[in-house]
Structure 1
Amino acid sequence: MINHLWLKTFCTLAEIGHFTKTADKLFMTQSGVSQHIKKLEQQLGITLLIRDGKSFTLNDAGNKLFIKGQELLKSSQELERLITQDEPHEGSIIMASPGSVGLQLYPHLLNIQIKYPKLVINYDFAPNRSIEQRLANREIDLGIISQLSGLGSIVCEKIAIEPLVLVTSQKFHSIDWQTLLSLGFISHPDANHHGQLLLSKNFPEFEHVNQFIQRGYSNQISLILEPVSKGLGFTVLPLFAAKAFHQQNLINIHPLINSVSESLYLCVNKHAIPTNRVKFMKNVIKDFLC
């Protein structure tokens, strides 16, 4: 069995890439770090580092051990947390979702936190790809994404659907293709994807959003509808985001003949040990969004 202390020293060294800085981080001497690496190599019967004076690189075996060793150390940390602190309404939870569903969900979660003051909810608004990667790296406990993940380490459960809507300022009561062309488009990070899904189903002339003059761009979900509300262009957003805009009287959400919705998936890393607070939060989210 690999010595966890030696493995931690090796993984820290591989991450930092410097013996002295590794020693400082682990409150060890540089010779102590070297001894741990030497003992680990002796235990495994293989060389892990290609040494060149005071510098080094990982060989193939070292790279493999670094990747798998990080997973093992994270599992050990999760197991320790599970044993020492596993109350369903206490402790910290880190989660992320796209901004649209976050605008709807996060205020509800704050009410849950008020009810259970020892529960700490850390919530990030992020795009799908970022959430997937953070889940894969076990940097977050829960993630909500609007596209089914293809990563083998992530388990997804469909929990809701989120309609996509076309939004203009309130002075436009009906929409046709020529009106959209004259208005122009207010873009955002998911605009191409959302526009393709909704507009292609409702306008035969549509090919891609580049057909429209771009009148503006914002990567802040709460600000995308500001230029729209002022008549500067139209956009396509999930309904949650449109409904969360603070001045509903200034926008018009247009019903289109063919409705289009995105699925929402609640995701976890399949290798992570689920704590009771994570199980509790999963139920809270599903009850609210389903």
Structure 2
Amino acid sequence: MVNPQWLASFSSLARLGNFTRTAEQLGLTQAAVSQHIKHLERQFGALLIRRPRSVELTPAGAALLDYCQQVDQAGLALAARLQGAEAERGEIGLVSPGSIGLALYPWLLDYQQQHPQCVVRHRFAPDAEVLEAVLGNRFELGLLTFNPDDPRLHARHFTEEPLELILPAGVLYQGWETLQQLGFIDHPDGTGMATRLLSRRYPGSRGVKDLPRSGFSNQVGLILEPVARGLGFTVLPRLARQAFHQQPALQVVECGNPVRDTLWLIHRAEWPLSARAAAVVAYLQARVGQLLG
């Protein structure tokens, strides 16, 4: 690596053309500037043609000056990145649970269209993988369904997802008996979500485990396919239902006071969130607020 002080002396000398003025500008002695140039010439060969009142660059000197300018530009780019000035360029990395991800991913693409120098990288993952990905610095942002107790993470409330009881559109809903006739379309979080919702809607019932199971899918984007075909009912967050492509094929049964799952935004606590990530979070929260009201 080339000594940066030597490069500063050479760059200033090339610009000013005079050892005395260069020394004055840098706050050095003329002898110190001369010594810096000698060090560089030992490494790269003759850099200057010395004339009585000026200097002229050799081809090697011109190449080294180009290098000095590249180093200066890289330094400015690094400073801008560390200061968060590149809010509209670079990678946007988010890892999230499936239901919220169905809504967030298209919005992230909208954001990328508005900021073409940004690159979206999104992953659907369960809570454990979200934690691992953020702690391992593979993603800057993550969403969890619980508030983590880890000093390495900063967590804040992102939004709340109301749970919905979702039936085929053509079914006449007549209470618990209708659910028994349809059967439950299960998914990885299905039992927990259905238990929380149905225990409030039917406080005297024996719970979702006593209902027949009519199907299962671990792909959040496909869970509503069998419901739309009349093969059963399910319980999902509202955002997952709203992202489904066949809304007329579904009906949502009102269950009184809504049951809500809280989502927490996490990132590493040891360093500040990048300006780019902060801008994306604000954008996504505004979109979520508009959709959930």
Greater Cα offset, 131-140 or 220-229: 131-140
When residues 275 and 216 of structure 1 are mapped into structure 2, their CA distance, relative to the original with a 3 A threshold, is same
**1:184 shift after superposition:** 1.1
Please give the residue correspondences for 1:158-237 in structure 2 after superposition, counting only pairs within 5 Å. 158-237=157-236
Q: Give % identity.
A: 33
Partners of 2:124 and 2:259 lie apart in 1 by: 23
1:93 aligns with 2:83: no
Partners of 2:280 and 2:156 lie apart in 1 by: 14
Greater Cα offset, 149-158 or 239-248: 149-158
1:105 aligned residue = 104
When residues 118 and 183 of structure 1 are mapped into structure 2, their CA distance, relative to the original with a 3 A threshold, is same
1:263 aligned residue = 262
Structure 2 length-normalised TM: 0.67
1:64 aligned residue = none
Structure of larger gyration radius: 2
Partners of 1:82 and 1:259 lie apart in 2 by: 43
**1:287 shift after superposition:** 2.2
1:143-196 Cα offsets, whole Å, 9 max, x none, are 122222233322211132111000111122324112212211111111122112
Does structure 1 conserve the Cα–Cα contact (< 8 Å) formed by 2:185 and 2:226? yes
**1:86 shift after superposition:** 5.0
1:44-103 Cα offsets, whole Å, 9 max, x none, are xxxxxxxxxxxxxxxxxxxxxxxxxxxxxxxxxxx9994498500111121111221122
**1:259 shift after superposition:** 1.6
Partners of 2:126 and 2:87 lie apart in 1 by: 28
Does structure 1 conserve the Cα–Cα contact (< 8 Å) formed by 2:84 and 2:276? no
Partners of 2:199 and 2:269 lie apart in 1 by: 36
| RMSD after superposition | 2.1
**1:208 shift after superposition:** 4.1
Count how many residue pairs are aligned between Structure 1 and Structure 2: 212
Partners of 1:84 and 1:259 lie apart in 2 by: 43
Partners of 1:187 and 1:81 lie apart in 2 by: 49
Q: Secondary structure at the match of 1:236?
A: strand
Partners of 1:93 and 1:199 lie apart in 2 by: 38
Does structure 1 conserve the Cα–Cα contact (< 8 Å) formed by 2:84 and 2:275? no
Partners of 1:238 and 1:269 lie apart in 2 by: 27
When residues 271 and 169 of structure 1 are mapped into structure 2, their CA distance, relative to the original with a 3 A threshold, is same
When residues 122 and 81 of structure 1 are mapped into structure 2, their CA distance, relative to the original with a 3 A threshold, is farther
Does structure 2 conserve the Cα–Cα contact (< 8 Å) formed by 1:95 and 1:124? yes
When residues 144 and 272 of structure 1 are mapped into structure 2, their CA distance, relative to the original with a 3 A threshold, is same
Does structure 2 conserve the Cα–Cα contact (< 8 Å) formed by 1:138 and 1:272? no
2:138 aligned residue = 139
When residues 193 and 150 of structure 1 are mapped into structure 2, their CA distance, relative to the original with a 3 A threshold, is farther
When residues 206 and 269 of structure 1 are mapped into structure 2, their CA distance, relative to the original with a 3 A threshold, is farther
Greater Cα offset, 107-116 or 208-217: 208-217
1:287 aligned residue = 286
Amino acid at match of 2:238: L
Greater Cα offset, 124-133 or 187-196: 124-133
Partners of 1:261 and 1:159 lie apart in 2 by: 13
Partners of 1:168 and 1:234 lie apart in 2 by: 5
Amino acid at match of 1:262: D
Does structure 2 conserve the Cα–Cα contact (< 8 Å) formed by 1:97 and 1:143? yes
1:130 aligned residue = 129
When residues 84 and 267 of structure 1 are mapped into structure 2, their CA distance, relative to the original with a 3 A threshold, is closer
Amino acid at match of 1:121: V
Amino acid at match of 1:258: N
Please give the residue correspondences for 1:39-50 in structure 2 after superposition, counting only pairs within 5 Å. none
Structure 2, gaps ≥5 residues long: 1-77
Does structure 1 conserve the Cα–Cα contact (< 8 Å) formed by 2:169 and 2:251? yes
Partners of 2:125 and 2:236 lie apart in 1 by: 15
**1:111 shift after superposition:** 1.3
When residues 150 and 211 of structure 1 are mapped into structure 2, their CA distance, relative to the original with a 3 A threshold, is farther
Partners of 2:110 and 2:149 lie apart in 1 by: 33
Amino acid at match of 1:211: D
Partners of 2:245 and 2:180 lie apart in 1 by: 27
Structure 1, gaps ≥5 residues long: 1-78
Does structure 2 conserve the Cα–Cα contact (< 8 Å) formed by 1:183 and 1:233? yes
